[in-house]
Structure 1
């Protein structure tokens, strides 16, 4: 059924969202937009900071400058180096995916490449993906557009329709579906389910540790 498995990174492979959005919340508060971390995550999870520049500038009354972004990246990366952990079951799932697809796996993220390389390297995941790591920052359009998943599938010489995407946000689900892939959504919290289904997720699952068994159910790696 599937010839390749394409993983999102943040929230799927690594538990980076609370760290990244904690830094973002603090910096926005320093700039004049103070809000709880939950509200910050509602506004920004699954989206690039720059894509929300109009909202940021309206709430802070200040331009979103390159210097501000550089400071954000520096503070974010310092916290990721100090605190980042893989999502439970993610390393085992990636290892299994590599086996059942004979190496046809990729990481396709809306994050900047520096963050991707840091996170995959720090959690020991980089070796499984090799050169097949794609950042939406380097493509004409980032998620929710399909460009990053189209690029990932092309790098593996696999049709998007024969690819399985693993996502965790409505934005990412829309990107995978827009590419023509089947999308399974990691959904550890029940209140997220409706939004993921509305975005087009084909299947929801609550634990990354379940993935190898679910692949066997659809015939992946059965031989």
Structure 2
């Protein structure tokens, strides 16, 4: 762990992001998006595409896409993207190493204080949780940023999760892996622990720290230890 939490404030809840924190989905989704953007005339490397789009809803990046392609994406385009994305996920999705143990540890320690808050659409969230065998861990406390007025980097989805759990922001830990997600958690007033394992599909630790992450974890075993230490 590259930073330590202030253990003076007790943790009462842990709120997980999904993509890149529980589901190792960012690379798969990114390749589908890169191909569709290339069809529109915008050629991006893997790293460029991740930097531009990871953690953001596609509709919120419509202006950027139009600037580079001259095409204004619409709901039909997003539906086609989601179909290709879901096909790739169904064929190849894997969990983030150690994520299931981290979720189960949090659920055991905070049975009334665990939630998932993702910027993705609910169908994707629920499909991935089902595939990874984790749907029961969160119960009804699964939140999609697309069901709120604003999604990440706005704080709305985290505020909704904390309200549902009945937890004050300073006693909630958000686990995030993108700048947009960290920004959302910080704006909600939560403590944010950034997951940065140092691989090709995750945001570098320094960027998460600059966005406001209080703690940087490099593997999920560290998250389990942190949950237990801060409970």
TM-score by length of 1: 0.95
Aligned-pair Cα RMSD in Å: 1.2
Contact 1:88 1:209 in 2 (8 A): no
Between the aligned partners of 1:45 and 1:5, the Cα distance in structure 2 is: 22
Q: Which has the higher contact order (CA 8 A, sep 6+)?
A: 2
Where does residue 168 of structure 2 map in the other structure? Answer: 159
Spell out the pairing of 1:7-26 with structure 2 (5 A cutoff): 7-26=16-35
1:179-199 alpha-carbon deviations (Å, 9 max, x no partner) = 111111111118712111111
Matched position secondary structure for 1:128: helix
1:95-142 alpha-carbon deviations (Å, 9 max, x no partner) = 000011124200001111111011111111111011111011000111
Between the aligned partners of 1:63 and 1:177, the Cα distance in structure 2 is: 31
Contact 1:8 1:108 in 2 (8 A): yes
Contact 1:12 1:90 in 2 (8 A): yes
Between the aligned partners of 1:73 and 1:21, the Cα distance in structure 2 is: 12
Among 57, 63, 66, which residue is 1:54 paired with?
63
1:9-41 alpha-carbon deviations (Å, 9 max, x no partner) = 000001000000100000111111122111111
1:83-102 alpha-carbon deviations (Å, 9 max, x no partner) = 10110000000000001112
Among 199, 217, 220, which residue is 1:205 paired with?
217
Q: Aligned-pair distance for 1:160?
A: 1.8
Spell out the pairing of 1:175-194 with structure 2 (5 A cutoff): 175-189=184-198, 192-194=204-206
Q: Which runs of 5+ in 2 are unaligned?
A: 1-9
**Structure 1 stretch 120-129 or stretch 184-193: which is displaced more?**
184-193
Between the aligned partners of 2:25 and 2:78, the Cα distance in structure 1 is: 18
1:48-96 alpha-carbon deviations (Å, 9 max, x no partner) = 1111101111211212121111100101001101110110000000000
Count residues in correspondence.
219
Between the aligned partners of 2:40 and 2:90, the Cα distance in structure 1 is: 24
Matched position secondary structure for 1:86: coil
Q: Aligned-pair distance for 1:150?
A: 0.6
1:127-180 alpha-carbon deviations (Å, 9 max, x no partner) = 101111101100011111111011001111111221111111111111111111
TM-score by length of 2: 0.92
Contact 1:6 1:164 in 2 (8 A): yes
Between the aligned partners of 1:209 and 1:35, the Cα distance in structure 2 is: 34
